[in-house]
């Protein structure tokens, strides 16, 4: 009845998500790990990311029209994606919004959740474009 083994690969995935200030996607995590551990498989990275999300240790940041990103910050917050370089960063609302069934006409649906994705231009891309 003992499940969930601790593997080297799972540790590597965890490290790759944790030791970064931004929010990498699965491919970026794979690329970072494969540098020092060339035998790791992409499938293993995806599998371990899913496990970590299931275990609540990592958050999946879904964006519109692109691959999922991953975040080890568990505090509730939102994300913004750069429309140019696609990087994802945290975003804070000064006062949290309240979107509950009281202020929405859900046309018969039972509301379960909502996700907000912000889009913008990151500082680096602003500089690049200003430099041109």
Binding residues for Zn(2+): 82, 85, 122, 125
Nearer to DNA by Cβ, of 29 and 80: the residue is: 29
Considering only the stretches 5-13, 15-23, 105-113, 122-130, report the one whose residues sit in contact with DNA under the rule CB under 7 A. 5-13
- The 46-85 site mask, x for binding DNA (CB under 7 A), equals xxx-x---------------xxx-----------------
Closest CA to 70 of 33, 20, 104, 110: 20
Name the DSSP class of 107: T
Nearer to its own copies by Cβ, of 37 and 62: the residue is: 62
- In the numeric block, the tokens 């891309």 are attached to 125
Q: How far, in Å, CA of 97 to CA of 77, rounded?
A: 11
Told to check if 42 binds DNA by CB under 7 A, we report: yes
Nearer to DNA by Cβ, of 41 and 96: the residue is: 41
Write out the H or E segment, with its range, that includes residue 71.
strand 69-71
Name the DSSP class of 103: G
Least Å distance, CB 41 to DNA, is 3
By CB under 7 A, name the one of 14, 16, 24, 26 that touches DNA.
26
Q: How far is CA 92 from CA 15, 18, 79, 87, 89, in A?
A: 25, 20, 8, 17, 10
């Amino acid at each position: 009845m003992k499940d969930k083994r601790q593997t080297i690969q799972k540790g590597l995935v965890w490290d790759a998500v944790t030791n970064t200030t931004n929010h990498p996607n699965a491919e970026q995590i794979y690329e970072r790990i494969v540098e020092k551990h060339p035998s790791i498989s992409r499938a293993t990275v995806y599998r371990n990311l899913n496990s970590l999300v299931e275990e609540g240790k990592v958050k999946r940041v879904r964006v519109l029209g692109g691959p999922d990103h991953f975040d080890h910050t568990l505090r509730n917050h939102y994300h913004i994606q750069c429309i140019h370089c696609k990087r994802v960063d945290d975003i804070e609302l000064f006062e949290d919004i309240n979107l509950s069934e009281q202020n929405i006409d859900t046309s018969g649906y039972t509301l379960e959740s909502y996700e907000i994705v912000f889009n913008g231009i990151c500082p680096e891309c602003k500089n690049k474009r200003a430099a041109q």
